[in-house]
Amino acid sequence: MSIILGIDPGSRITGYGIVQQQGRTLTYLGSGCIRVVGNNEEVPLASRLRRIHDGVSELIAQFQPDEFAIEQVFMAKNPDSALKLGQARGAAIVAAARQDLLVAEYSARQIKQAVVGGGGADKTQVQHMVVQILKLPATPQADAADALAVAICHCHTRQSMVSMAGAARKTVRRRLR
């Protein structure tokens, strides 16, 4: 049994999703958003990064995850946005690393592939599948749904790796006979 904290990083809103994996069964534990700016509020980037770090640290203390998964930076049209996103990711990753959590990183394409079955899926398809996979009564906020998708992707990747490792052991045993 493992608890996975998934993060959808953002310099203004960072989504989080927590799932528990037991074998092939995923259970929803929680989700939400770390909002680092309010309506029409200008907050310096350094303060936003501290809030992201502190928010992720609080989630780690509350849920005691075994593993941490985060979406990789994509190259945005605006280089400044990509840099800020990278810094937000860094703040979240440092919070996980300070607690000695395994940090896994996935591209948006990998996440969509794992959750929907196609790397070109749109946000509504991802949200729909998150609701279906975790048997949620309602669709979470967009950033929270994306973070849950990151956690689901990590669970599916872990399960695939375990299956491949088991198959490799069987192959080695057959060769040794």
> Which positions are annotated as active-site residues?
8, 71, 143
Q: Which residues of 103-132 are buried (b: 16+ CB within 10 A; e: fewer)?
A: ebebebebbbbbbbeeeebeeeebbbbbbe
Residue that is written with structure tokens 């689901």 in the block:
152
Q: Is residue 18 a contact partner of residue 151, using CB atoms and an 8 Å limit?
A: yes
For 53, counting Cβ atoms within 10 Å of its Cβ (0-12 exposed, 13-18 middle, 19+ buried), the class is buried
Annotated binding residue 122:
no
Alpha helices (runs of H) in 1-122, residue ranges in sequence order:
45-63, 79-98, 108-115
Annotated binding residue 8:
yes
Annotated binding residue 105:
no
- Which residues are documented as binding site for Mg(2+)? 8, 71, 143
